[in-house]
Amino acid sequence: MLSEILRNYRTWCLYCDRFLDAALRDHPEHINYKAGCSSCCELDSVNYLEAFAISTVLHISNGSQETNRSGCVFLTDNKCRIYSSRPIICRTHGLLLKSNDQTNSAAVNCMHNYKQPLKISSRFILDTDSVTLNLIRFNMAFCMLLGDPEAGSKRIYLKDVSLGILPGEIAGIITEYHAGM
Ligand code: SF4
């Protein structure tokens, strides 16, 4: 069950990553985002599933490094220390995004990319509603696995994740996860 939740979650992480890959491949002239860009790195909390996913990596590489004074705690020298395991919202940074909540039908973009008006295929525009809905579903499945469905609406500060300060049920499942590797 845990492996299935993680597989689904990681599939959606890759799904988001492919939008950036496609943009870099097909119209790189509109992508000014590059390593060292940290304009969007102000995330301060994640849900239980993402706290778990990040913590499994920190367990291996030791997350107790010096952290940034402002912005996200995982940002060091303008680089993400958990880039390969960064939360889903971080994977949408810099992309053309679309949501049903928007009052107009145009896709929104970050301040660095897509500065020039262009006609662009919808395959480059990420539907954030689908991403959010699936993340909520996977997180709820994870919280039910923990025996704590009410945790589905809770957030954990990234600072606490970086220090290994986690709710007991997540700490327990991390131990199980590494024992089964
Ligand atoms: S987790 Fe990484 S990509 Fe996301 S806000 Fe923090 S430093 Fe930036």
**Hey, where are the domains in the chain?**
2-179
- Residue nearest atom 8 in ligand 1 by C-alpha distance: 41
- Measured CA to CA, the distance from residue 96 to residue 16 in angstroms comes to 11
pLDDT of residue 29: 81
pLDDT of residue 108: 66
CB-based contacts of 152, cutoff 8 Å, min separation 6:
47, 48, 136, 139, 140, 143
The pTM of the whole model exceeds 0.85: yes
Q: How far is the CA of 164 from the centre of ligand 1 (A)?
A: 17
- Residue nearest atom 2 in ligand 1 by C-alpha distance: 80
pLDDT of residue 67: 52
pLDDT of residue 35: 72
Chunked in runs of 10, what are the mean pLDDT values of the chain (181 residues)?
Answer: 95 93 84 77 95 85 52 90 94 84 61 71 86 97 97 97 94 88 71
For the record, the structure tokens of 16 come out as 């988001």
- Residue nearest atom 1 in ligand 1 by C-alpha distance: 86
pLDDT of residue 23: 83
